[in-house]
Amino acid sequence: MFLRPIHFIPHDTKIDFVAKRWWAFSMTILLVIITIGALAVKGLNFGIDFKGGILIETKAPQSIDISALRTQLETLSLGEVALQEFGAPNDVLIRIQRQAGDETAQMKAIQDVRDKLSTTYEYRRVEVVGPTVGAELLRAGILATVFAILAIALYVGLRFEWQFGLAALIATLHDVFVTVGLYAVLQLDFNLTAIAALLTLAGYSINDTVVVFDRIRETLRRQKATDLRVIINDAVNQTLSRTMMTASTTLLALLPLVFLGGQTLINFSLALTWGILVGTYSSIYVAAALLIYMPPLRRIEITRVPAKVEG
């Protein structure tokens, strides 16, 4: 007995997504305006990675309770303190924001941490990251994100046609930009983890978009005289079940991290959750609809090889 595949959306779904594109474009413009406004008024809340600060890599004789250690260090009033467990359960990386003053102030903060922790802690690495290094990390992170998006658009343009590549570039830029807006609106820490979230989101977003584009290209080859709007609607409807299932299963993995992951993971998991919602919406409503406003796509004739007759 074979199990039937699960379909979130019926096969005969005929939603007119193209007719609703103006609502989608309006939502897109609204999100972009909110993002620009938040960046202009609040700006990004840069974390220690980009502002500079103190890095302390330490090892405890027993497993470390991250929450208890964070509470313990917050009593020192050193500003932002970030803890990250890595490797073994008794290894922890402590990040402290740069203190006001010269190197003497930074060394005093390090000594305060040493005094607060048990004398059994082993200090493997202690570094003071200056604002210059933080600015270089920020510049490198921005360049990595921009180059990744451009490389994705170039691949789509070469794999399909340049119109698809341009539409993919606009849709992916939209998804990443409004996710940056989430960091600005909620004043989440924008650090290297945020860059990783943006790069992950760019890859996820283009995945759904490429599926829709591939279906559009297949339909263009089969239906020469059909209007492009009809082809786009058919392609989005045919891939809608797959798109919704992918988004739903990914959210099932992310939502526990949002609510139970704690302070360490909230910036990454919340940004990805928001990005997946926005990316799914842009793949359905925005990316394909942009093709309507571009030069006509090629409709490649399929050459059929006549069957060989034996006899």
CB burial of residue 5 (10 Å; 0-12, 13-18, 19+): exposed
User: Each residue of 265-305: pLDDT tens digit?
Assistant: 788 899 999 999 998 888 888 888 888 888 776 654 444 44
From 97, 129, 161, the end of a domain falls on 129
Indicate whether 36 and 84 sit together in one domain: no
Full-model pTM: 0.77
**DSSP per residue, 82-111:** EEEE-SSTTEEEEEEEPPSSSHHHHHHHHH
Shared domain check, 265 and 124:
no
pLDDT of residue 224: 66
Tell me, yes or no, whether 243 and 160 share the same domain. yes
Q: Identify whether the C-beta of residue 71 lies closer than 8 Å to the C-beta of residue 83.
A: no
3-state secondary structure of 204: helix
Per the structure, the complete domain to which residue 101 belongs is given by: 53-129
What six digits make up the tokens of 80?
């932002």
If 0-12 CB within 10 Å is exposed, 13-18 middle and 19+ buried, where does residue 59 land? middle
57 with 105, same domain: the answer is: yes
For 142-185, the pLDDT digits (tens) are 898 889 888 888 888 888 888 888 888 888 899 999 999 999 99
- CATH code of residue 33: 1.20.1640.10
- In whole angstroms, give the CA distance from residue 173 to residue 287: 11
For residues 158 and 31, state if they share a domain.
Answer: yes
Residue 9 in any domain: the answer is no
30 and 175 together in one domain: yes
Residue 270: inside a domain = yes
**Predicted confidence (pLDDT) per residue in 15-35, tens digit:** 788 888 888 889 999 999 999
Both tokens of residue 2?
């074979």
Structure tokens given for 38: 């938040």
Average pLDDT over residues 176-204: 89
Structure-token match 């058919």, residue found: 234
